[in-house]
């Protein structure tokens, strides 16, 4: 799908959303890889956050018409929040909100993240939970993929995109400026925590060129090295702060951990 087609569809969607929601529409925000300039055709989505003053079933029903063509082109339905909900939900969605706030383009209206406050303590908890959950899922998916070079490459490529997003949170916890683009974020994490860059670089090659390993044995070796490095990142997050320090949720949390 060409960028021109997506651009035209996005402009059409914006016009339709304004006509549909009228004064109830606060903002429309593009977030994620497309906003960061890290978009990969046929793999990445154009993610939209729509903020309304109120959200009723009728408001959502009316949204069906303007989003129909957007979905037909293969893009996900927009995420709907009220401005008040964005502020109230910051403690349970810290990773998502950090990522939206860092890689966003306001397409219409006011910036909904201007007054959202995010907590390092909440970020640490969710980061470890998400990393461990994705590692468990990666192990499960490896079982059927382990006998196929193509399936293994797809598994590593797709999973690294998800882990890279979580690496941003790991870097932010340690007071680092987290790059928005996924390859740069992974490389920054590798440098910060002295990881082995080899499996990550090989996976980025799969993702960019579809250049697969020459043998099943080599593909499995790359996967093993990849999983080992993911586990090292999880240990970094697990050791980031004691439960008492996390509970304090004060500015000293980040400062103390930067010293480690």
96-149 per-position pLDDT tens digit: 888 788 778 899 999 998 888 878 888 999 999 999 999 999 999 999 999 999
Q: Look up the CATH number of domain 3-109.
A: 3.30.460.10
Q: How far apart are CA 156 and CA 224, in angstroms?
A: 11
3-class DSSP assignment, residue 198:
helix
pLDDT the model gives residue 117? 84
Q: How far apart are CA 105 and CA 53, in angstroms?
A: 20
Where in the chain are the domains? Answer: 3-109, 120-258
pLDDT the model gives residue 167? 95
210-233 per-position pLDDT tens digit: 788 999 999 999 999 999 999 999
Q: What is the CA radius of gyration of the chain?
A: 20
3-class DSSP assignment, residue 213:
coil
Q: How far apart are CA 11 and CA 64, in angstroms?
A: 17
What percentage of the chain has pLDDT greater than the value 90? 57
pTM score above 0.75: no
């Amino acid at each position: 799908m060409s960028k021109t087609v997506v651009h035209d569809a996005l402009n059409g969607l914006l016009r339709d959303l304004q006509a549909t929601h009228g004064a109830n529409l606060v903002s429309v925000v593009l977030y994620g890889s497309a906003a960061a300039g890290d978009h990969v055709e046929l793999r990445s989505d154009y993610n939209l956050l729509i903020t309304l003053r109120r959200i009723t079933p009728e408001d959502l029903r009316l949204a069906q018409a303007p989003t129909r063509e957007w979905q037909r082109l293969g893009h996900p339905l927009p995420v709907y929040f009220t401005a008040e909900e964005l502020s109230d939900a910051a403690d349970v969605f810290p990773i998502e909100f950090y990522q939206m706030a860092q890689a966003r383009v306001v397409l219409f209206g006011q910036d909904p993240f201007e007054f959202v406050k995010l907590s390092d303590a909440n970020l640490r908890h969710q980061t470890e939970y998400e990393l461990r959950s994705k590692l468990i899922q990666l192990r499960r998916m490896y079982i059927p993929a382990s006998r196929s070079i193509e399936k293994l490459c797809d598994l590593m490529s797709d999973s690294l995109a998800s882990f890279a997003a979580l690496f941003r949170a790991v870097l932010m916890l340690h007071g680092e400026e987290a790059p928005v683009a996924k390859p740069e974020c992974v490389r920054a994490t590798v440098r910060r925590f002295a990881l082995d860059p080899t499996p990550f670089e090989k996976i980025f090659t799969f993702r960019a060129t579809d250049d697969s390993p020459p043998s099943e044995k080599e593909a499995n070796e790359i996967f093993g090295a990849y999983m080992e490095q993911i586990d090292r990142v999880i240990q970094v997050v697990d050791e980031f702060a004691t439960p008492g320090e996390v509970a304090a949720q004060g500015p000293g949390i980040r400062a103390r951990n930067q010293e480690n």
